[in-house]
Amino acid sequence: MRNSKKKSVLSTRALVCMLAVAAVLTLAVAYELLWKDSESQEFEQARVVRIVDGDTLIVSIFGVNERVRLIGIDAPESVHSDETKNTQEGIDSSNYVKSIVQPGQTVYLQRDLSNRDKHERLLRYVWLEVPDDPWSMSEVRTKMLNGMLVDNAHAETRRYEPDTAYHDIFKAIAQAR
């Protein structure tokens, strides 16, 4: 009888382990499907949590706060830890972003080739609304935060390899000002 009790305990443990493995595999497959689905879409929806400065935002994606660095531009400093690097132009750039993007607002993130920079920030183009034609200079100027900053002289165009999908459009916008 003792052996049957051991077998029963072992079979219960084996069943619990198998169920745990099945649950983990199910979650992994579900996560993979969701991840692939979100990557297959060109725009990822996010909610603005806070504006850090002229080229950095904090957004919430599926309830996780992420720091986002706008690709292809460089805004002057306004919140650098070395206060001597902060400028009035940086404060103006940050205030410009705050005037058009509010906490709680929905934005649409578009990835280029890189996912994150060396500071672990997401690298993204940030759209205020999904464009009809994302390669239209007019839409980049009026619907993409990165392009709006360049168009309104609150940021400069910067080429950061390999993320250069909109570099020529940003350059054209800057030249047309």
pLDDT at 12: 62
pTM: 0.75
pLDDT digits (tens, 9 = 90+) for 2-18: 666 666 655 666 555 45
Q: What share of the chain is helix, strand, coil (3-state, %, to 5)?
A: 45, 25, 30
Can you give the pLDDT at residue 64? 98
Give the pLDDT confidence of 65-116 residue by residue, as tens digits: 999 999 999 999 888 878 888 789 999 999 999 999 999 999 999 999 999 9
Label residue 166 exposed, middle or buried (CB < 10 Å: 0-12, 13-18, 19+). buried
Candidates 173, 130, 128, 129; CA nearest to 153 is 173
pLDDT at position 31, please?
Answer: 37
pLDDT of 34 above 50: no
Q: Hey, what are 63's tokens?
A: 């309830």
pLDDT in tens, 123-163: 999 999 999 999 999 999 999 999 999 999 999 999 999 99
Tell me the three state secondary structure of residue 156: strand
